[in-house]
Structure 1
Amino acid sequence: MYTRTENPLHIVQEVIDNAADEALAGHAKRIDVTLLTDGGITVEDDGRGIPVGLHPEEKVPVVELVFGRLHAGGKFEKHAKEGAYAFSGGLHGVGVSVTNALSKRLELTVWRDAGQYEMCFEEGHVTEPLEKTATVGKRRSGTRVRLWPQAKYFDSGHLPLNDLIRLLRSKAVLLPGVVVTFTQEKSGETQTWQYKDGLQEYLASEIDESTLMVPFLTGEQYADANDASFSEGEGAQWVVAWRDEATVFRESYVNLIPTPAGGTHESGLREGLFLAVKSFAELHSLLPKGVRLLAEDVFAKVSFVLSTKVLDPQFQGQIKERLNSRDAVRLVSGFVRPSLELWLNQHVEYGKKIAEAAIRHAQARTRAAQKVEKRKSSGVAVLPGKLTDCESTDISRTEVFLVEGDSAGGSAKMGRDKSFQAILPLRGKVLNAWEVDRDRLFANNEIHDIAVAIGVDPHSADDEVDLSGLRYGRVCILSDADVDGSHIQVLLLTLFFRHFPKLVEQGHLFVARPPLFRVDVSAQGKRPARKFYCLDEGELEALLERLRQEGVREQAWRIGRFKGLGEMSPEQLWETTMNPDTRRLLQVSYGDLGFDQTRSLFTMLMGKGESAQRRLWIEEKGNLAQVDL
């Protein structure tokens, strides 16, 4: 609840925060941190020094209460003028008492009231009571805490140096004029930070200024004594950068405490920026018809550093990663919005750049909102309700028929072998998916159902696809043998070639070939009555020629044409199209053309902008067409 257990950084941060609070209150000019060779760490400041007198009620030194008892901090006194820590880091009152509890040893030195005082704790308990060890000058004041974290409480007993350095550097940024140093005793290396330009200098050091769309936007405003909504001194300081880069740099602080999880103060900044940019865009009539700006559109490419002062901050947990104070939204937004609105209208060209970037993001967001994800329940794709599944799960046997129309689907369901054959009826013609983005495929119900039924997600030829979820070894396209059926075939082949190419490459895609004609031949002498099925007119002509050669009179046969699969009885459909022993199933492959040429041909045939090329191709190949009039 009160600290992080990954490493001891937070318990060290509590000590650094106390030193920073002294600087924030205007009583300290230096914060010195030293990493000791033996793994300990020292934090020293030149503030007023922790009070060493006896607590009037507890009758023990105040400094002992601060380090040895929960909820005994002096930061509950919240008066902007009189309070010792009007804008300190929090109200939990545990702070350095947690640091002490999780340290093997903690040594404390205080300079105050012309004296040097020392005491020592081990495992959180006093082992050397407070004692005045020297007399110093009246101007000498401050606190030094030296501690050694107890490694058993942490996943790693080592301090993450990069995070510690970033923390110290940010304190220097947020405390203009304060000198912050970090020394590594082992190497003797010392780093010193002091920022005169504060937040802007810090943000400029973290991002590439060449990517800025407009100059840095800086602002600082605090409530005065006459403010009706907020306490005197409450407010914020900010620097904002709009960049072309997709990556953003964002840091926020409340009373110098880093808030990596953000919170209500960041929400206030977001709201203030959004309302200012929206107002500017509306004032200058920049919004296209149908485009609605949202806060995320304005905030998408914003990098910022925000430092907020709140009299009574409420954090999420003692580690203070997120600010929860509700009034912080109004506080920050109320100061940011008018400041930015003024700047935008003073710099109209820059304002238009910001507004146009937000509008582009809004348009992209609108397009993205049209993307449809595969419907799932409990993390598992739900099989389409109209899928009639098979009993077997052995993909060396199983097959699914994508059947044109519900009536044909009904015949197929009754005529199939349910042990290994599944049926998925399709309604109408499938979408031409050649130029449809993968993210928008599932907006089409039929394509969604196909993908879910076969158990493979859409992919490209270059993707490494895991086909372990494939539910059927054969995916069979079953459509009428007429022009409309051929059209549906082409659309489905386009879908599989464009978005499921691995199924084609590995030989899982087939085209079922139902007959177009049925020929019934009467009994001739000792020959019993016979029936034949022909795929097309070519086969029909060949069959009739053979019958003539056999001496069968033309009056002896009757030719029937199937208008569609729905006209076939279940027995006929099984016999002609679904029975593995008698059907003619065509496996789909790239053939002699290969992948690249096949792709070029599909582009010409199915691409929306290729009408001129299609016309030329039709004029050249028109004599090959079999027109069904």
Structure 2
Amino acid sequence: MSQKQYDESSFRVLKGLEPVRERPGMYTRTDSPCHMVQEVIDNAADEALAGFAKNIHVAMFRDGSVAVTDDGRGIPVGLHPVEGLPVVVLAYTVLHAGGKFDKKSGNSAYAFSGGLHGVGVAVTTALSQRVEVEVRREGRVHQIAFVDGGRQIGELVDAGTCGKQTGTRVRVWPDGKYFDSPRVPLAEIERLLRSKAVLLPGVKVALDVEQADGSMARQEWRYVDGLAGYLREMTAGAEALAPLYTGEAYAGADEDYAQGEGAAWCFGWFDGVQLSESYVNLIPTVAGGTHESGLRAGVFDAVKSFIEHHSLLPKGVKIQQDDVCGKMSFVLSARVLDPQFQGQVKEKLNSREAVKLVSSMLTHPFEAWLNQNVEHGKAIAELAIKQAQSRLKDAQKVEKKKSSGVAVLPGKLSDCESENIAENELYLVEGDSAGGSAKMARDRETQAILPLRGKVQNAWEIDPNRLFANAEIHDISVAIGVDPHTADAPDSVLANLRYGKLIIMADADVDGSHIQTLLLTLLLRHFPRLIARGHVFIALPPLYRVDVPAQGKKRPARRFYALDEKELATFRDRLLKEGYKPEQLEVGRFKGLGEMRADQLKETAMDRATRRVLPVTVDIDANSQTNALFNLLMGKGEASGRRAWMEAKGNLVEADL
């Protein structure tokens, strides 16, 4: 059998836009070209957000192309002082190039924009058959075309005068070979443009769609009442259980946040209808994120304070956030100076500071409104109290089911107060010292802590009847309320489950990974239904902490957490681009969970709004391969097989030794 050659010639360096064409799914959605067209629309919206554009027009043609026109300042066409190429060429052909980076130095073209991933409209070029750009700027019309995914760059042509007109028109022909469907979905574009109209008061947003006879069918969007008008339209026909609350707040020059950071919001409660839409700098965040967490936290704090002030809470009832916000409909538009998104598609905001930003802007104004409108406040409070009472009744039903044959819970278990199984979480924590930090960092209402001493026994080959001879395994089984079982056991084995989530939290080092592997081995072998039903998770505590000093009043001191060396390098590169010197950055390495302060552990691994937690799943189709691999790695009689496997695969391991 011939082997493939592996030498210096085997390496390939992807240049320019090749990485996008090679792996488009890393940069954009590949179900349709909607997101790559959205990048162009977002550029026009950024001009409007900055106050330079009053009109955004989109045209969809029968040949599959889409044109986006704005009357903003127009993309600069002069030569870049360093690169020596026209700026419009850099914008459409170079990744990590744009006018949204130098915000701290004052050289950025935008105070607020949809993010700093730095790929933007260059992805549109990479995945298009053709992109035509027309710029009206400084009295002249400039035109240029990019063909075959940017492989061919046309000449930048001066097409004549345009008087005082300014703006940019971009027409895109998506390349269908990169997408499941080559057509841009009309419904998504309509929804996107409608949201831009809601979030950009005073800006006219229009859409033309070419018909079969060549005529254009036009839609225009304007919302006189902004967010409130939009929410009313989207919930039309539903009974309002409580009145809408609309407001906005932005930081001034002397506040803890950058000037202009803040949010606008509108929310209410409706019978049978629930809508949640959020945006960051006009970018729709369909998967939510930390700004939505801040909104819910602010609403909950205000309502809880109102209930306590007016003594409305019945005895024995505790209000939780989901009681208040679980059936709330809202539209949220946040402005964040330097937003950090999850992935290039920007569907979820990850910026931790956005939680405090939105909640602090919202809590006091909403609480004041509740107390000024006591009747409305009591209506909202009544909804929350009814939801809490219903939750408690459900929890009592569950308690009755598990009342027979109750085992004595482990003495070292710090249990949670809630009896709502779906909300409750059990953290399996490495070491007593880490367990102590976790106890202080937890939410006592819904989070329980079970510290584990040393490394759990390798349970892959233990007889199920001998499992409870190990104290740690015995305590885990009793704490979660589930007995050992086989993979083909019915779901009824989970009838007495006490926690909806079982979260493994170990140090971010080799020993921590070993403990994590031993616990996963135990659960896969003897508690497989927990994994199959999605109850097992892994917390990702950081290995490094980066402290960044303040930069004037507009940029307070910041702290970042990095999971590993790669993420640490990413933060360093970003901060150096922001103008910090290497010696200004204070980098600390956590030796383990026990060394982390409770507030640090809470922020990075336990607070639902900011933690990083991964679900553990098993591919049913690959079940036999999974068992074979675990048998190789964890079986006592597989030493020679493990040695051969490590010799063959050892170069693939990334271990922090």
What is the TM-score when the length of structure 2 is the normalising length?
A: 0.56
For residues 10 and 236 of structure 1, do their structure 2 counterparts lie closer, same or farther at Cα, with a shift above 3 Å needed? same
For residues 209 and 200 of structure 1, do their structure 2 counterparts lie closer, same or farther at Cα, with a shift above 3 Å needed? farther
How far is 1:208 from its partner? 2.7
The equivalent residue for 1:355 is 381
**Could you give the per-residue CA deviations for residues 329-385 of structure 1, whole angstroms, max 9, x where no partner exists?**
11100011001100000011111111111011111122223454999xxxxxxxxxx
CA contact (8 A) 1:77 1:85 kept: no
Secondary structure (helix, strand or coil) at the match of 1:297 reads helix
The equivalent residue for 1:461 is none
Pick the aligned partner of 1:163 from 188, 192, 204: 188
The equivalent residue for 1:207 is 235
1:183 correspondence with 2:211: no
Secondary structure (helix, strand or coil) at the match of 1:170 reads helix
The equivalent residue for 2:263 is 236
Q: Distance in 1 between matches of 2:224 and 2:81?
A: 42
Give, as a single letter, the amino acid of the residue that structure 2 aligns with 1:188.
M
**Could you give the per-residue CA deviations for residues 103-130 of structure 1, whole angstroms, max 9, x where no partner exists?**
0111110001111001111122233121
1:301 correspondence with 2:321: no
The equivalent residue for 1:62 is 87
CA contact (8 A) 2:99 2:108 kept: no
CA contact (8 A) 1:30 1:45 kept: yes
For residues 302 and 58 of structure 1, do their structure 2 counterparts lie closer, same or farther at Cα, with a shift above 3 Å needed? same
The equivalent residue for 1:83 is 108
The equivalent residue for 1:193 is 221
Secondary structure (helix, strand or coil) at the match of 2:201 reads coil
1:325 correspondence with 2:351: yes
CA contact (8 A) 1:115 1:134 kept: yes
Secondary structure (helix, strand or coil) at the match of 1:298 reads helix
Q: Please list, as runs of the form range in 1=range in 2, the aligned pairs for 1:218-617 lying within 5 A after superposition.
A: 218-227=246-255, 229-245=256-272, 247-372=273-398
Pick the aligned partner of 2:37 from 12, 27, 33: 12
Q: What is the identity percentage for the equivalent residue pairs of Structure 1 and Structure 2?
A: 58
Secondary structure (helix, strand or coil) at the match of 2:368 reads helix
CA contact (8 A) 1:241 1:303 kept: yes
How far is 1:453 from its partner? 8.6
Size of the aligned set, in residue pairs, is 387
CA contact (8 A) 1:252 1:307 kept: yes
How far is 1:307 from its partner? 0.4
Q: Distance in 2 between matches of 1:274 and 1:454?
A: 35
How far is 1:214 from its partner? 2.3
For residues 98 and 453 of structure 1, do their structure 2 counterparts lie closer, same or farther at Cα, with a shift above 3 Å needed? closer
Give, as a single letter, the amino acid of the residue that structure 2 aligns with 1:174.
L
Give, as a single letter, the amino acid of the residue that structure 2 aligns with 1:53.
G
Give, as a single letter, the amino acid of the residue that structure 1 aligns with 2:269.
W
Q: Distance in 2 between matches of 1:296 and 1:144?
A: 45
CA contact (8 A) 1:250 1:305 kept: yes
Give, as a single letter, the amino acid of the residue that structure 2 aligns with 1:240.
F
CA contact (8 A) 1:78 1:85 kept: yes
CA contact (8 A) 1:80 1:231 kept: no
Q: Distance in 1 between matches of 2:370 and 2:206?
A: 39
How far is 1:216 from its partner? 1.2
**Could you give the per-residue CA deviations for residues 90-109 of structure 1, whole angstroms, max 9, x where no partner exists?**
10110000000000111110
Secondary structure (helix, strand or coil) at the match of 1:88 reads coil
Q: Distance in 2 between matches of 1:288 and 1:216?
A: 26
For residues 60 and 291 of structure 1, do their structure 2 counterparts lie closer, same or farther at Cα, with a shift above 3 Å needed? same
Secondary structure (helix, strand or coil) at the match of 1:75 reads coil
How far is 1:80 from its partner? 10
**Could you give the per-residue CA deviations for residues 193-223 of structure 1, whole angstroms, max 9, x where no partner exists?**
1222211111111003651122210011100
Q: Distance in 2 between matches of 1:456 and 1:210?
A: 41
The equivalent residue for 1:99 is 124
Give, as a single letter, the amino acid of the residue that structure 2 aligns with 1:286.
L
Larger radius of gyration: 1
**Could you give the per-residue CA deviations for residues 241-272 of structure 1, whole angstroms, max 9, x where no partner exists?**
12232x30111000000000000000000000
Secondary structure (helix, strand or coil) at the match of 1:74 reads coil
**Could you give the per-residue CA deviations for residues 374-401 of structure 1, whole angstroms, max 9, x where no partner exists?**
99xxxxxxxxxxxxxxxxxxxxxxxxxx
Secondary structure (helix, strand or coil) at the match of 2:133 reads strand
Q: Distance in 1 between matches of 2:494 and 2:259?
A: 59
CA contact (8 A) 2:238 2:271 kept: no
CA contact (8 A) 2:58 2:208 kept: yes
Secondary structure (helix, strand or coil) at the match of 1:213 reads strand
CA contact (8 A) 1:75 1:88 kept: yes
CA contact (8 A) 2:306 2:371 kept: yes
CA contact (8 A) 1:269 1:333 kept: yes
Secondary structure (helix, strand or coil) at the match of 2:253 reads coil
Pick the aligned partner of 1:39 from 58, 61, 64: 64
Q: Distance in 1 between matches of 2:134 and 2:156?
A: 9
Q: Distance in 2 between matches of 1:53 and 1:125?
A: 21
| Structure 1: runs of 5+ lacking an equivalent | 376-442, 459-629
Secondary structure (helix, strand or coil) at the match of 1:66 reads helix
Secondary structure (helix, strand or coil) at the match of 1:276 reads helix
Give, as a single letter, the amino acid of the residue that structure 2 aligns with 1:327.
E
The equivalent residue for 2:197 is 172
Segment drifting more, 53-62 vs 185-194: 185-194
| Structure 2: runs of 5+ lacking an equivalent | 1-25, 402-479, 496-657
Secondary structure (helix, strand or coil) at the match of 1:272 reads helix
For residues 275 and 33 of structure 1, do their structure 2 counterparts lie closer, same or farther at Cα, with a shift above 3 Å needed? same
**Could you give the per-residue CA deviations for residues 509-561 of structure 1, whole angstroms, max 9, x where no partner exists?**
xxxxxxxxxxxxxxxxxxxxxxxxxxxxxxxxxxxxxxxxxxxxxxxxxxxxx
Secondary structure (helix, strand or coil) at the match of 1:47 reads coil
For residues 257 and 374 of structure 1, do their structure 2 counterparts lie closer, same or farther at Cα, with a shift above 3 Å needed? farther
Q: Distance in 1 between matches of 2:105 and 2:285?
A: 22
What is the TM-score when the length of structure 1 is the normalising length?
A: 0.59
Give, as a single letter, the amino acid of the residue that structure 2 aligns with 1:275.
D
Q: Distance in 2 between matches of 1:84 and 1:454?
A: 57
How far is 1:82 from its partner? 6.2
CA contact (8 A) 1:80 1:86 kept: no
How far is 1:83 from its partner? 3.5
Secondary structure (helix, strand or coil) at the match of 2:57 reads strand
Secondary structure (helix, strand or coil) at the match of 1:216 reads strand
Q: Distance in 2 between matches of 1:80 and 1:239?
A: 34
Q: Distance in 2 between matches of 1:8 and 1:367?
A: 48
How far is 1:457 from its partner? 12
For residues 456 and 293 of structure 1, do their structure 2 counterparts lie closer, same or farther at Cα, with a shift above 3 Å needed? closer
For residues 361 and 36 of structure 1, do their structure 2 counterparts lie closer, same or farther at Cα, with a shift above 3 Å needed? same
Secondary structure (helix, strand or coil) at the match of 2:172 reads strand
How far is 1:36 from its partner? 1.0
How far is 1:158 from its partner? 1.3
The equivalent residue for 1:144 is 169
CA contact (8 A) 1:276 1:337 kept: yes
How far is 1:23 from its partner? 0.2
**Could you give the per-residue CA deviations for residues 556-584 of structure 1, whole angstroms, max 9, x where no partner exists?**
xxxxxxxxxxxxxxxxxxxxxxxxxxxxx
